[in-house]
Amino acid sequence: MNRKPEAHATKFKTRKAFTMKKALLAITVTVVFCSSYAQSQTKFSRITTIAGSGKTGPAETPGPAATLRAPTAVSISNPFGIEPDSKGNLIIASFDQHVIYRLSADRKLLELIAGTGAEGMSGKTGDVATAVAMNQPHEVRVDARDNIYIADTRNNRVGLVDASGKWKAIAGTGEVGYAGDGRPAVDSKMNQAYSIAVDGSELFVADLMNHCIRKVDLTSGKIATICGNGKTGRPVDGAAASEQALEGPRSLAIDKQNLWIVLREGNSVWRIDRTTGKIHHVAGSGQKGFEGDGADAKLCKLNGPKGAAVNPGVALYIADTENHAIRMVDLNTNLVSTIAGSPKGEPGFNGDGDQPTTRLLKRPHGVCWLPSGELIVGDSENHRVRVLTP
């Protein structure tokens, strides 16, 4: 009779050990799965041109250009910002043609949806977007309702094209300057609205030559400066963003937690924590160059970066423009690597195909991460839109 408790204890220990083994196995499987998933989201095996003939030329006329020609036969002159809408179409800013194109989700139809094709400054709220003259639009963003926001850069303004194809003024009078905080954004002054990011009722603008970030409350319509103190310089890591200097804020990306900022002259990338309002260093030592792959992203050298895209919690992609490459920061390890373009910083075009780090780029500006795992690249001076596939 005295053995029964011992037998019970032995069974309990055996069961406990078995349970612990199951738990350890589950943890191991989870870690392996997460690691494999993360790798599948950050490694790319092929690069392919999906739009642009590689030649410059005049803009297409409004309407579907590819009813007669494939998108890869159409001239797109210096494609910069690229963004998907809810249907999987890609919205493309053609910087030197002063227009915006839409590439269909099946990538067979290219359509001019905004801009006249001539450099200019025109358009009031309610006008048909294809009758609105723009001047080197650098960036496009799309909200949940498929409104297309456009950074009409050299016109120092931001506008919107709604689902019906009508233009709406959002921020900036078109006049160069710095003014308007606390007042309606449409009456504000900016100096080269280079990039934008939108999330819900908040629109952020990289006011390049004013070295600051402006925020437009899309509900009230008012504008405010949230980063940049009017001076040119390097921010202090961990300090309040509103008190810091910036050095050429050229591109923005956004997720629920952070606003990511690319500093062109600063050769670095930073993020503003949207909860605390503090700014944090992410990548780039500030020195111009091309080195650091496989090491801490904060210590690497960039050269005039001009674009960014984020896969939240997984990776940050950087258009390292003057290095003619796309760099990636693993957000779990903070290690940097080159994922497309020559690791030697060589410009050019040597075709599409496998091994993207053997395929040359020329001053890429736009990068756009898609939930499918693809990365879209505005290979600007090759006048092509290209896709990196896992």
Token representation of residue 161: 């094209």
User: Quick count: other Cβ atoms within 10 Å of Cβ 239?
Assistant: 13
Q: What is the pLDDT of residue 3?
A: 38
**C-beta of residue 327 within 8 angstroms of C-beta of residue 335:** no
- Edge-first strand order for the sheet with 79-84 is 63-64, 110-114, 99-103, 90-94, 79-84
- Which pTM was predicted? 0.90
pLDDT of residue 60: 84
The predicted structure's pLDDT at residue 2: 40
Task: State the amino acid at position 296 in one-letter form.
Answer: D
User: Residue 41 has what pLDDT?
Assistant: 56
H/E run at residue 376: strand 375-379
Which pLDDT does position 31 carry in this prediction? Answer: 37
- Whole-number pLDDT of residue 17: 45
List Cβ neighbours of 69 (8 Å cut-off, separation of 6 or more): none
The per-residue pLDDT for 86 is 97
The H or E element spanning position 269 is strand 268-273
**Over the chain (390 residues), what is each successive 10-residue block's mean pLDDT?**
41 43 42 41 89 94 69 97 98 98 96 97 97 98 98 98 97 98 98 98 98 98 96 97 97 98 98 98 98 98 98 98 98 98 95 98 98 98 98
What pLDDT is attached to residue 68? 65
pLDDT for position 15? 44
Joined tokens for residue 139: 């960036």
Sign of the Cα pseudo-torsion (173, 86, 194, 221, in order): positive
Helix (H) or strand (E) holding 42: helix 3-42
